[in-house]
Copies of this chain bind each other. A is one copy, B any other.
Amino acid sequence: MSATSVQPPRDDQPETPGGGSATLAEIARAAGVSAPTVSKVLNGRGDVAPATRSRVEELLRRHGYQRRRGSVQPAPLIDLVFHELESSWAMEVIRGVENVARQESLNVVLSESAGRLSPGQTWVDGVLARRPTGVILVLSGLDPAQRAQLTSRDIPFVVLDPAGDPGEDVPAIGAANWQGGLAATRHLLELGHRRIGVIGGPGGMMCSRARIDGYRAALETAGVAYEADLVRSGDFHHEAGYTAGLALLGRPDRPTAVFTGNDLQALGLYEAARELGLRIPQDVSVVGFDDLPLARWISPPLTTVRQPLTEMAEAAARLVLDLARGRQPSTLRVDLATRLVERASSAPPRAGAEGPAGE
């Protein structure tokens, strides 16, 4: 597909059903409007009265109308929607999508759902009007009405979901979070640590739940008791790692190692350790999650679980293009492997390292 092949959708063209059961003419009859009006709704045109539009959308949904593949040439665009555009985490994802887009002469349309879990209706209207080749949603999903709107226009979507809970029938690329938590904790156990703290991500995120379950599995298979007291949580930002770090490391019986929910939390923990006069790794070992570029650059360089964000984004882009081209993938959900990257922030515990800060 070349960047010059855009053909604006025409609104006077009869359409035939794909997976659905009704033709465009039948939808029009049921709605009491003309076929071109239904077509305008399908193409996200603004010149349809809101009430008519909702009536048509409702009928499209109820009849499971699906535009025939190939009846309209999509624009050479991939829509990429983030829950929030923060930190180099998002940059790793953008780079992956951009890599595939460039190879395929597509461009990437970037949106932020501004903290909402689903993008707003304005975004959906924009998507219907610009008819991208596909949509990639990062850590956010679509509500049922939005899904129906994309499906009826034959616009495929994939969830890039390291959080791990997109629903079974949604095409998704994720990461092996549980294995990552297991590997991080086993590494610390093998170094000789027995009191290992953990900081989770936001409560609702399944990725965080999976990592902590991996942590727990590593402890219990090693015969080390799981202590709820050593488990903290917060969001995925620096500040949460700092706060949880002060709480964990300020205890008289502080842990000798901490597995943090991600690299930014690890940075916050570094700061907390510094304030408490604790050295990394001599007084406390730290293992992060993600392996952002900065993990190599901080002091000491961070031992962390690599989540291949760029490769995951590339896989999501290839999957959505496959769907757009009518190739059905053998499986709708793929989790890419995570792996431990050992650097200087983890070491065996010193004899007697447990105990009050600054002892």
Contacts and interface: CB of A to CB of B under 8 A. Distances in A.
Contacts of A8: 8-9
Interface residues of A, number: 52
A2 interface: yes
B112 A102 contact: yes
A4 B125 contact: yes
B91 A85 contact: yes
A94 B85 contact: yes
B299 A129 contact: no
A255 B122 CA distance: 56
Interface in A89-138: 90-91, 94-95, 98, 102, 105, 107-112, 114, 122-123, 125-126, 129-130
Given A8-B9, A45-B4, A130-B77, A299 B299 contact: yes
Interface stretch (A170-178, A212-220, A290-298): A290-298
A109 B112 contact: no
Contact of A107 (B46, B109, B296): B109
Contact of A91 (B9, B44, B79, B88): B88
B129 A6 contact: yes
- What copy number does this chain have within its complex? 2
A111 B123 CA distance: 20
B111 A107 contact: yes
A77 B94 CA distance: 18
A154 interface: no
A271 B293 contact: no
A5 interface: yes
A238 B46 contact: no
Nearest to A9: B8
Q: Identify the 10 closest CB pairs spanning chains A and B, nearest first.
A: A8-B8, A4-B46, A3-B126, A267-B297, A6-B129, A88-B88, A4-B125, A108-B110, A110-B110, A107-B109
Interface of A: 2-6, 8-9, 44-46, 75-77, 79-80, 85-88, 90-91, 94-95, 98, 102, 105, 107-112, 114, 122-123, 125-126, 129-130, 238, 264, 267-268, 270-271, 274, 293-294, 296-299
